[in-house]
Amino acid sequence: MSASPPLIEVRQLRKFFGPATHPVRAVDDVSFTIEQGETLGLVGESGSGKSTIGRALLRLVEPSAGQVLYRGEDLGAASGSRMRALRRQLQMIFQDPYASLNPKMRVRDILGEALQVHGLAPGRAARQQRIAELLQLVGLQPEHAERYPHEFSGGQRQRIGVARALSVEPEFIVADEPLSALDVSIQAQVINLLLDLRERFALTMLFISHDLDVVEYLCDRVVVLYLGRVMEVGPTAELFARPLHPYTQALLAASPKPDPTVPITHVPLQGDIPSPVNPPSGCVFRTRCPSAVDACAQQRPEPRVVASGRLKACLRDDIAGMTLP
Ligand SMILES: Nc1ncnc2c1ncn2[C@@H]1O[C@H](COP(=O)(O)OP(=O)(O)OP(=O)(O)O)[C@@H](O)[C@H]1O
Ligand SMILES: [Mg+2]
């Protein structure tokens, strides 16, 4: 008996931008899986490669190397027509709901376009009904179909973005910072909408965010990225309760819990993230790592299983056989 493949598998994904002599190493040898029904969080500082990975998963950017598999099928080997069919299963919710909605299109055309491309709800009447249904699904009114994006608030625009992603009944959604352009007061509403729809349609998600609290709330597992490399992977509750990698520890220290009885023991991050054109040798985090030793400049640590379901890319265990505080 063989287990079915994960819904999404990323294998040694690499994406370099710019000239081959000194490229931007946006994503450098990243691997992870997403099981059906799972929400995987992708966190890391600005420029760590989160959006590039999200886009590569949907083949909105062409990987420089490595593979993305959907139900075991290599997207890179899919023909044009196969990829168009697969696109229906793989959708994206963008950070800026204004920039991602064509301002010259009415909502009905924004939603109708996706339906038409995939031959869904054919015919004017069926399409109109489906659009009304989609608007209601995201908490808007059927009358909103006649309006243009600028006639909505930020939160409502993000609801339209969600409706567009869901219009084709996808299995998998990449949500790239879907809350960060919204007022804090609106964020909770959109989070609840995403939770509700995830439940209702058994969606699998990659949730990209800076906001660790939201990731902790929404995600089953988390991948921590730094300079295009995976630092740590683990189930959300365990990773937040006991981060294993010095970078994860620093990230969590930088966003302390309001609970004053929990002492902050980790050292917060010092200095700036190095340039991805010229990443440090060995471990890319070593220049900011409070635990770095000489060997960290020589050897590039790969993520390894250090406990059940938990991966960490750090040499310190290899050298000293220790668990960092
Ligand atoms: N089209 C592109 N051409 C050149 N460089 C790019 C391109 N897209 C991204 N990059 C670079 O790749 C690196 C990773 O970018 P990416 O947008 O994936 O990071 P991110 O983690 O999503 O950051 P943020 O949190 O700011 O959204 C950055 O150094 C970025 O400048
Ligand atoms: Mg991004």
CA distance 201 to 193: 12
**Where do the structural domains in the chain lie, given as residue ranges?**
8-89+170-243
Ligand 1 center–CA 269 separation, angstroms? 21
User: Is pLDDT at 319 greater than 60 in this prediction?
Assistant: no
Per residue in 26-71, pLDDT (tens digit) is 999 999 999 999 999 999 999 999 999 999 999 999 999 999 999 9
Q: Atom 25 of ligand 1 has which residue's CA nearest to it?
A: 46
Q: Which amino acid residue places its CA nearest to atom 12 of ligand 1?
A: 26
pLDDT digits (tens, 9 = 90+) for 162-179: 999 999 999 999 999 999
**pLDDT given for residue 7 in this prediction:** 98
Ligand number, closest to the Cα atom of 210: 1
Find the length of the chain: 325
Q: Is the pLDDT of residue 320 over 50?
A: no
- Give, using CA atoms, the residue closest to atom 2 of ligand 1: 17
Residue 325 has pLDDT above 60, yes or no: no
Q: Please report which confidence band the pLDDT of residue 260 belongs to, taking 50, 70 and 90 as the band edges.
A: low
Atom of ligand 1 nearest to the CA of 225: 21
Dist. CA 50 → ligand 2 center (Å)? 5
Give the DSSP letter of residue 52. H
Ligand 1 atom, smallest distance to 53 CA: 18
3-state secondary structure 146-189: HCCHHHCCHHHHHHHHHHHHHCCCCCEEEEECCCCCCCHHHHHH
Both tokens assigned to 317: 């265990």
> What CA–CA distance (Å, rounded) separates 45 from 239?
17
The secondary structure of residue 167, as a DSSP letter, is T
Identify the DSSP state of 18: S
Ligand nearest to the CA of 61: 1
In angstroms, the CA 83 to CA 113 distance is 18
Which of 49, 112, 114 minimizes the C-alpha distance to 87?
Answer: 114
Ligand 2 midpoint to CA 46 (Å): 7
Ligand 1 pocket residues where CB is under 6 Å: 17-18, 24, 26, 44, 46-52, 276
Provide the percentage of residues in the chain whose pLDDT is more than 90: 82
Cβ atoms 225, 44 nearer than 8 A: yes
Mean pLDDT of the 214-218 span:
95
- Which residues lie across from 307 on neighbouring strands? 310
pLDDT at 201 over 60: yes
- Atom index in ligand 1 nearest the CA of residue 18 equals 4
Which of 84-98, 115-129, 251-265, 278-292 bottoms out in mean pLDDT, i.e. has the lowest?
251-265
* pLDDT surpassing 60 at residue 323: no
pLDDT band at 95 (very low <50, low <70, confident <90, very high): confident
Residue 317 has pLDDT above 80, yes or no: no
CA distances from 210 to 123, 170, 179, 186, 214 (A): 42, 25, 10, 17, 9
Question: Which atom of ligand 1 is found nearest the CA of 276?
Answer: 29
User: In this structure, which ligand is nearest to the CA of 175?
Assistant: 2
The span from the CA of 154 to the CA of 178, in Å, is 11
70 and 49 Cβ atoms separated by less than 8 Å: no
Architecture of the domain defined by 8-89+170-243? 3-Layer(aba) Sandwich (3.40)
Please report, rounded to a whole number, the percentage of residues in the chain having pLDDT higher than 70.
93
The pLDDT assigned to 256 comes to 65
Find the mean pLDDT for residues 240-250.
92
